[in-house]
Structure 1
């Protein structure tokens, strides 16, 4: 019904050991049906991506996410590394960002073998995955400063104290307190009952003492999403820290409608925005740009 037809891409799986935390599985997608040799690619951009699922569900095997990884790889012409991080509450923070750090370190070392370009490595994610992507970007700055050129954050959760939750665009019939209780339950599953971790920068990247030195970022938010306040405040925070950042609010959209390309025209536009942002420039570096492209879904303007 939703028209989920993933394009064929060459793919390979790897299981990586994460010190003191569970192993993490990754699936690498190439933008071609057959895996190319490093010589054939000439060094493709690499996007490490964390799926969304409130830290508790979904995964790289879910059809919707698998389709997204493949479509992004094919349409942008990049290598996508999909991260299958552990789920809460069985596994809790800091395992998930540490697994993400493990993947970043592995990708940095394996990029050339995969046919990728070390100088064009990006990191991204949606919702809880956006939280992990932003956390790993902070960890990278604090630890090894690998060359991450871009952050792609879609409807990210960035302040787990819930200080930036914005219920203004959601159905007025739902009391704000109900939304906050639901969000707090998810945060507790991920972080545990102690409240101190909610302000840890790798749990709440928004609350880091400094955001200087982070990679440029593009953040997409949805009007009808309580997390829109997180993403939009983060753009302001990064800009004030001297980090190039762009925010795009999708009017009339919900937290999850961005994945429904075949039935929601705005989701098709979001996909093209992301793909256009990922397309490498002729100077062999990541560039932040958003462009329009012809419609291919059959939808016509009203």
Structure 2
């Protein structure tokens, strides 16, 4: 009888290793205090982007401020696929997107995120509405999902004047932004039931109890207990002192009592990312609820490496997959 194949510990993609080695000298250490960490993280993003020659392409953009009931207003930035805004009634798809940053850092003004939104809008031929939701710990849950819900409602209400279509509306996010995107789909089902054509989740955090984190892909140099401790620290900053809030479905969409009636999903996960467990468990939960779902695991990739387009072939493949999926929105609602 043939032998069963031996288990091999996952290994880091050589392109990711080369990329990390290249940018390591550019990264200043981040201080412990939240505001200082946020400032240095943005400075690091600017330095890395400059060194790699990342320059946002010229597409039309416009910022607006959206009021949020009982919480701080949220700024949104609209990205059009061309050099000028789409005319009213053009019927373009709209993707409402939430950036990733562990609920504590990043934003739509970061060079890397701004460049990514511009590239995706142009390549997919869609409008992107990116929400600059508030950071923890200055603002706690549920401020962020409420801000993201308000951004989604604003996009729905203004779809036609933006040159978009309410029939071609999608929601997406990465990491903590994936958590917020999934939360918005639950809030929509519970509140208004707007027609969301698609949800796109990239390495999403979906269980803030850390109950589905998969540590098997972490290297020996980063023990799982350290990863869990770091994750729990971010969760405490986000939900505050009441740890029970981490189980709320708008904080941990994976733990919702039901996933029925949610939008079709594309979920991307990475083999060497502890959040792989969240994304893949969510894919199974959606499938069990008869929600169409496609889940793709990228071998040898880390939590952030799929954002390294131009330097990591798997990141380029992920971009093509996302763009291809978003382009299918153009056919929604047509006879």
Fold match (TM-score > 0.5): yes
Do structure 1's residue 272 and structure 2's residue 312 form an aligned pair?
no
Q: Equivalent of 1:168, from 211, 216, 223?
A: 216
Q: What's the counterpart of residue 292 of structure 1?
A: none
* 1:66-125: CA deviation from partner (whole Å, max 9, x where unpaired): 011001100000000010000000000000000011111111110000000110000000
Contact 1:3 1:262 survives alignment (8 Å)? no
Do structure 1's residue 202 and structure 2's residue 256 form an aligned pair?
no
Q: Equivalent of 1:256, from 297, 304, 319?
A: 304
Q: What's the counterpart of residue 300 of structure 1?
A: none
Q: Which has the higher helix share?
A: 2
Q: What's the counterpart of residue 50 of structure 1?
A: 98
Q: 1:285 to 1:256 in 2, by over 3 A?
A: farther
Do structure 1's residue 220 and structure 2's residue 268 form an aligned pair?
yes
Q: What's the counterpart of residue 167 of structure 2?
A: 119
Using the size of structure 2 for normalisation, the TM-score is: 0.83
Q: Equivalent of 2:69, from 3, 19, 22?
A: 19
Q: What's the counterpart of residue 27 of structure 2?
A: none
Moved >4 Å (runs of 4+): none
Q: What's the counterpart of residue 293 of structure 1?
A: none
Do structure 1's residue 32 and structure 2's residue 82 form an aligned pair?
yes
Q: 1:191 to 1:34 in 2, by over 3 A?
A: same
The gaps in structure 2 that reach 5 residues or longer are: 1-50
SS across alignment from 1:225? coil
The range that moved more, 122-131 or 187-196, is 187-196
Using the alignment, how far apart are the partners of 1:281 and 1:223 within structure 2?
Answer: 28
Q: How does 1:141-156 map to 2 (within 5 A)?
A: 141-156=189-204
Q: What's the counterpart of residue 6 of structure 1?
A: 56
Using the alignment, how far apart are the partners of 2:329 and 2:272 within structure 1?
Answer: 33
Using the size of structure 1 for normalisation, the TM-score is: 0.92
Offset, 1:36: 2.6
Contact 2:168 2:197 survives alignment (8 Å)? yes
The range that moved more, 99-108 or 170-179, is 170-179
Q: Which has the higher strand share?
A: 1
Offset, 1:193: 2.0
Offset, 1:285: 4.5
Offset, 1:282: 6.5
Number of corresponding residues: 284
Q: What's the counterpart of residue 295 of structure 2?
A: 247
Offset, 1:175: 1.9
RMSD over aligned CA atoms reads 1.2
* 1:19-52: CA deviation from partner (whole Å, max 9, x where unpaired): 100000000000001113125xx20000000000
Using the alignment, how far apart are the partners of 1:190 and 1:215 within structure 2?
Answer: 26
Using the alignment, how far apart are the partners of 2:159 and 2:54 within structure 1?
Answer: 29
Using the alignment, how far apart are the partners of 1:194 and 1:19 within structure 2?
Answer: 22
Structure with greater Cα Rg: 2
